[in-house]
A and B are shown apart, each in its own frame.
Chain A
Amino acid sequence: MPEQAITQPEIDAVFPKVAQTIADALGCDLDEVKPKSSLIEDLDAESIDFLDLVFRLEKGFGVKIPRGKIVEDARGPLPESEFESKGVVTEAGLARLRQFLDEVPTERIKTPLKAAEVPRLFTAETFCKVVIRAQRAAA
């Protein structure tokens, strides 16, 4: 079943708490966290910060975010072999990412993109959507 589109009012409703959670996890100022901020490139997040953030979001919002779920959702219906080839995201994979991560400026989703670097694309708004999907799954 296709995913019901996430609306801007839904994102606006969770953003303040998600932004505060990001600021707490990364130890940065709240006003540095903008919806389009890339957590890695703009806020210097590392892998341990993503782990920290996901656990904080789970506790803060009372939801479960299964491990690997974000990347798995980003890949969508594409099998791994069609999403990437030799560690690089395929054209079909890039098209899927542009659709799924529509909060990310399209110029940032360009070839060659290593599959391992997909998390570099994630923005604060990406995590708003993660929370909204988890809330929907729990409803």
Chain B
Amino acid sequence: MNGRFRSFSFVDRITLCSAHRVEGHYTVPVDATRFPASLMAEAVGQLAAWASMSQLDFAIRPVAGLAAEAHYGQVPQPGQRLELQADIERCDAEAVAYRGSATIDGQLAVEIIDCVGPMLPMAQFDDPEAVRADFHTLCGGGVPAGRFGGVPAPLLSQIETTGSERLQALLSVPLAEAAPYFDDHFPRRAVFPGTLLLDALADLAVQLAQRSAPLRDAAALLPSRVTHVKIRSFTEPGAVLQLEVELLDADADRARLKLAARGDGKTVATARVEVVRRSPA
């Protein structure tokens, strides 16, 4: 339980929590080594999770499942504060459905649409009473900002192309003792966060897009939209996943790619991503 709020919690305080709406904020630590854009979506998802867990008396909790679309407006910088909000469209024993966004200084940073998190028994993942206490802490004075140290870049190896339109790689998921985020994500069950898996897939997608003829001259590319996200199963620490990205089309400004992660012969996650040229700062 040492990791609570320390290494994979992206809500500092909840300022409003009603049946259909929840609001809060999170400040990206000034010394965070790496804060990928996917963690903004994680922050909005965690906010919605808090609202749904409180509605269901902390007996069950949502896990990552589906997201029709996430689009990114900007890349968060250390020290910036994300204003978070989520609208709970449906919440019952089977799933929570929601949409939400994060803004920075009034400008959209990420918007996520048509997200569905399947519900599972809370006790499998955490102590329900500890989670209840955490919720009251967040709804009260909140927790101090600056606890998160950042996540390492995904450990990709054996990156191989298949023609010009496919790129494959192996993703080595860290062991639980090597990555503190496991302990904070689900204290009773170490699971590789779905948003970090999407981060790894997006990283590979950017590499493939950068090899495509229309974007070969781009100084930098970044994901602008992630769609059709489906997380099918949990990934354990120490797992090695096969990642594959496929270029669907590309022009001078953007590329669209299909993403998949497989483990033990089964599909773990799928999504699509659009990457664009990074605008000069």
Q: A48 to B232, Cβ gap below 8 A?
A: yes
A52 engages B94 (CB within 8 Å) = no
Q: Tell me if A67 counts as interface (CB < 8 A to partner B).
A: yes
Q: Is the CB of A52 within 8 A of B92?
A: no
Are A48 and B270 closer than 8 Å at their CB atoms? no
Give chain A residues whose Cβ lies under 8 Å from the Cβ of B114.
55, 59
Whose C-beta in chain A lies nearest to the C-beta of B97? Answer: A55
Q: Beyond A48-B231, A48-B232, A55-B114, is A67–B66 a contact (Cβ under 8 Å)?
A: no
Residue from B66, B118, B231, B270 with most neighbouring chain A CB atoms (10 Å): B66
In this assembly, does A68 line the interface, its C-beta being within 8 Å of a C-beta of chain B? yes
Chain A 45-70 near chain B by CB (<8 Å), digits 1 or 0: 01111011001000100000001100
Chain B CB within 10 Å, residue with most, of A49, A52, A55, A68: A55
Main secondary structure of the interface of A (DSSP, over half): helix
Q: B185 contacts which chain A residues (CB < 8 A)? A: none
Q: Is A76 an interface residue (CB 8 A)?
A: no
The chain A residue sitting closest to B93, CB to CB, is A67
Quick check: B92 and A48 within 8 Å, CB to CB? no
**How near does chain A come to B145, taking the closest CB pair, in angstroms?**
34
A87 touches B (CB below 8 Å)? no
What separation, in Å, do the CA atoms of A122 and B223 have in the docked complex? 37
Number of A-B contacts (CB under 8 A): 31
Interface centre among B94, B228, B230, B231 (most CB of A within 10 A): B230
B231 and A67 form a contact (CB under 8 A):
no
Closest Cβ–Cβ distance, residue B48 to chain A (whole Å): 15
- Inter-subunit contact B116/A55 (CB<8 Å): yes
Docked pose: A68 CA to B95 CA in angstroms: 11
- Chain B 84-110 interface 0/1 with A at a Cβ cutoff of 8 Å (1 = within): 000000001111010000000000000
Q: How distant is the Cα of A55 from the Cα of B231 in the complex, in angstroms?
A: 16
Is B237 at the interface (CB under 8 A from chain A)? no
Q: What residues of B have a CB within 8 angstroms of the CB of A68 in the complex?
A: 94
Contact with A along B55-93 (1 / 0, CB 8 A): 000000000011000000000000000000000000011
Q: Which of A60-103 contact B (CB under 8 A)?
A: 67-68
Q: Which residues in window 212-237 of B have CB below 8 A to A?
A: 228, 230-232
Residue ranges of A at the interface with B (Cβ–Cβ < 8 Å): 27, 46-49, 51-52, 55, 59, 67-68
Task: List 20 additional contacts besides A48-B118, A48-B232, A67-B92; criterion CB under 8 Å.
Answer: A27-B228, A47-B118, A48-B65, A48-B230, A48-B231, A51-B65, A51-B66, A51-B94, A51-B95, A51-B116, A51-B118, A52-B66, A52-B116, A52-B230, A55-B66, A55-B114, A55-B116, A67-B93, A67-B94, A68-B94
Ordered by A's residue number, 23 sampled pairs between the chains whose C-beta atoms are within 8 Å are A27-B228, A27-B270, A46-B232, A47-B118, A48-B65, A48-B66, A48-B118, A48-B230, A48-B231, A48-B232, A49-B230, A51-B94, A51-B95, A51-B116, A52-B66, A52-B116, A52-B230, A55-B97, A55-B114, A55-B116, A67-B93, A67-B94, A67-B95
